[in-house]
Structure 1
Amino acid sequence: MHLHDVWFVLIAVLWTGYFFLEGFDFGIGVLTRLLARDRPERRVLINTIGPVWDGNEVWLITAGGATFAAFPEWYATLFSGFYLPLLVILLCLIIRVVAFEYRAKRTGERWQTGWEQAIFWTSLLPAFLWGVVFADIVHGVEIDASGEYTGGLPELFGPYALLGGLVTLSLFTFHGAVFAALKTLGDIRARARRFATRAGAVTAVFALAFLAWTQGDGGNARSLAAAVVAVLALLAALGANLRGREGWAFAFSGITVVAAVAMLFLVLFPDVMPSTLDPAWSLTVENASSTPYTLKIMTWCAAIAAPLVVLYQAWTYWVFRRRIGTQHIAEAH
């Protein structure tokens, strides 16, 4: 296997890790308005991800940096052609960070309500737009012979891309609801499980349509296997949630995210951005990659640093593994 193939796999792993972790992170943000009934319950939901949300975003930074270093042509075309959707995502992530940090700085009703609304919208929009972006990457966009995106903004929001956005939004919300049931106590825990059942049913409808469309459009045997795993894991997550097995439900919802993202990358390979104008103009792992020497240096750096980051993040989740409820929220909040 060539190093550019290895780095395609590594970047796929980074994006998969990001969507697995940030997926329930976004879902919790959406649930602050759909599940929580009052401010203490919203605080409970926010506290379930309080110690880990910033660590989850490390995966995004690493995935973007790895793409820039390993596949500069892919990075250039992606971030120039998809500039506006990615800019909206970036702005949402920035505002979301500020909202988490500033919400409790003052006790005024208007102040806290405004930041709570910001958390909701800056979780919902990226959850939807990431699905749009990756659906476009897999489906292909208008790339010319020089590797430049020649389409406009409307072309990025076709039916397939919009369906992809609905899949990620519903899947992340379901993933977040299962995580909320796993991490909370009392009435909000029971309501999170009931909400997860409804969200999972909606996700199943969107996911089946999207996975079938993706497989029919350019799938192969490996992508079909990943799609089957994703569907079975989603059904298993729904079953475990109905039985109150919250740990298993979260594990299976995580497998659903992992298998669905893996399917997209299996359909995409060996392209990194297919061209709908001419397949010969597509960006591939070969014509979009850096030099072999650059990839070799990156491989050594990743082999040393990546395990340390994973171990530290796993330790963080272990330390903050206990459930919380409204009884743990201070009166001042």
Structure 2
Amino acid sequence: MQLHDVWFVLIAVLWTGYFFLEGFDFGIGVHTKLLARDRREKRVLINTIGPVWDGNEVWLISAAGATFAAFPDWYATLLSGFYLPFLLILVCLIVRGVAFEYRAKRTEEHWQRNWETAIFWTSLLPAVLWGVVFGNIVHGVKIDAHKEYVGSVLDLLNPYAILGGLVTLTLFTFHGAVFASLKTTGEIRGRARRLATVLGLLTLVPTVGFLGWTQADKGDVSSLIAMGVVVVALLAALGANRLGREGWAFSFSGLAIAAAVTMLFLTLFPNVMPSTLNESWNLTVGSASSSPYTLKIITWCAGFATPLVMLYQGWTYWVFRKRIGTQHIAEAH
């Protein structure tokens, strides 16, 4: 295995980690409207991710930075061709971060309610857009001989990509409901478990349809195994949730996300962005990568920094591992 193959795997791992962590993060944001019944319960949900939401986004920054360093042609084609969806995601992430920090700065009801609305929409929209983006990456887009995207924004809104957006939205919302049941106490915990059952069943249909389409179009034996893991993990998450084993339910819902991302990267390799105009114009791990010397340098850097970041983030989750409920929210909030 050459270094550009190693970096393709590493980037897949980074995206897997990002969707696993930011998945329940986005899901909690959606549940501030879907699950919470009053503003104290909204505060409970926000507090479950308050210490970790910004750390989760480190995985996105790392994935983007690794793509820029290891596959500059992939990075250039992807960000220029998908400029509008990436801009919308970036704006949502900025507004979402501001909303988390500014919501409690003033006590007026309309001030806090407006920021809560911002949290909901800036969680829902990226959850959809990430599915659209990766649906187009896997399916292929109009790339010419000069490695440039020559399609339009409307070309990105094809049925396969839209179905991918529906899958990420439902999968992340289900993941968020399971996380809410794991991290809360009292009445909201029971409602989160009941809602997770409904969302899990709703998630199965588009997920199986999207992955089945992917398998029929580009799959092989390894991707079929990954698809099987997704389905089994979702069913196991539903079963564990039904039995009140929230830790296992969360582990299995996270496994479903990880296996789904793995399947997409398995069907993509050795391409990084297929061209729908001419297969010879596909961007591959070989044609889009940096020089061997550059890959060698960044491999040493990543080998040093990555374990430190993972240890620090794991420690953060351990420190803030306890459940919270409405009894922990001060009356002033």
Q: State the TM-score, normalized to the length of structure 1.
A: 1.00
CA offset digits 1:272-323 (Å, max 9, x no partner): 0000000000000000000000000000001111001001100000000000
Once residues 8 and 300 of structure 1 are traced to their aligned partners in structure 2, the CA distance between those partners, rounded to angstroms, is 16
1:220-299 equivalence runs, <5 A: 220-299=220-299
Is residue 2:97 matched to residue 1:97? Answer: yes
Within 2, Cα distance between the matches of 1:17 and 1:46?
21
User: Which residue number corresponds to residue 199 of structure 1?
Assistant: 199
Hey, what's the Cα distance between the residues in 1 that align with 2:77 and 2:330?
Answer: 49
Q: Secondary structure at the match of 1:276?
A: coil
Tell me how far 1:331 sits from its aligned partner: 1.0
Partner of 2:48: 48
Distance 2:106 2:293 in 1: 53
Amino acid across the alignment from 2:51: P
In the alignment, the residues of structure 2 paired with residue 210 and residue 191 of structure 1 have an alpha-carbon distance, to the nearest angstrom, of 29
SS of residue matched to 2:272: strand
Once residues 278 and 297 of structure 2 are traced to their aligned partners in structure 1, the CA distance between those partners, rounded to angstroms, is: 34
CA distance in structure 1 between the partners assigned to 2:145 and 2:202 by the alignment? 41
CA shift digits 1:216-272 (9 cap, x unpaired): 010111111111001100000001001111000000000000000000000000000
Shift of residue 160 of structure 1? 0.3
Counterpart CA distance in 1 for 2:221 and 2:90 is 35
Distance in 1 between residues matched to 2:223 and 2:146, nearest whole Å: 29
| Identical aligned residues as a percent | 75
Number of residue-to-residue matches in the alignment: 333
* Deviation of 1:133 (Å): 0.1
Residue identity matched to 1:78? L
After TM superposition, the runs of 4+ consecutive aligned structure 1 residues lying more than 2 A away are none
Counterpart residue number, 2:129: 129
**Could you tell me which residue of structure 2 aligns to residue 142 of structure 1?**
142
Distance 1:64 1:122 in 2: 20
> For residue 157 of structure 1, what is the aligned residue in structure 2?
157
Cα drift, residue 332 of structure 1: 1.0
Instruction: Give the letter aligned to residue 245 of structure 1.
Output: R
> Is 1:73 aligned to residue 53 of structure 2?
no
Secondary structure of 2:6 counterpart: helix
Which structure 2 segments of 5+ residues have no match?
Answer: none
For 2:43, the aligned partner's letter is R
Instruction: Classify the secondary structure of the residue corresponding to 1:272.
Output: strand
Which residue pairs with 2:23 in the alignment? Answer: 23
Query: SS of the residue aligned with 2:175?
Result: helix
* CA distance in 1: counterparts of 2:90 and 2:257, whole angstroms: 22
Q: CA deviation at 1:326?
A: 0.1
Tell me, in whole angstroms, the C-alpha distance in 1 between the residues paired with 2:295 and 2:213: 34
The whole-number CA distance in structure 1 between the counterparts of 2:109 and 2:328 is 21
Q: CA RMSD in A?
A: 0.4
**Match in the other structure for 1:307:** 307
Task: Report the equivalent of 1:37.
Answer: 37
> Within 2, Cα distance between the matches of 1:24 and 1:289?
32
Within 1, Cα distance between the matches of 2:184 and 2:89?
A: 28
Q: Aligned equivalents of 2:290 and 2:30: distance in 1?
A: 39
SS in 2 for 1:190: helix
Report the alpha carbon displacement of residue 109 of structure 1 after superposing the two structures with TM: 1.1
The secondary structure found in structure 2 opposite 1:30 is helix
Aligned to 2:113: 113
Gaps of 5+ in 1: none
Q: Structure 1: which amino acid aligns with 2:58? A: V
Residue 172 of structure 1 pairs with residue 161 of structure 2: no
**Matched AA of 1:16:** T
* Whole-angstrom CA distance in 2 between matches of 1:232 and 1:170: 17
Residue aligning to 1:62: 62
Quote how far apart the aligned CAs of 1:4 are.
Answer: 0.2
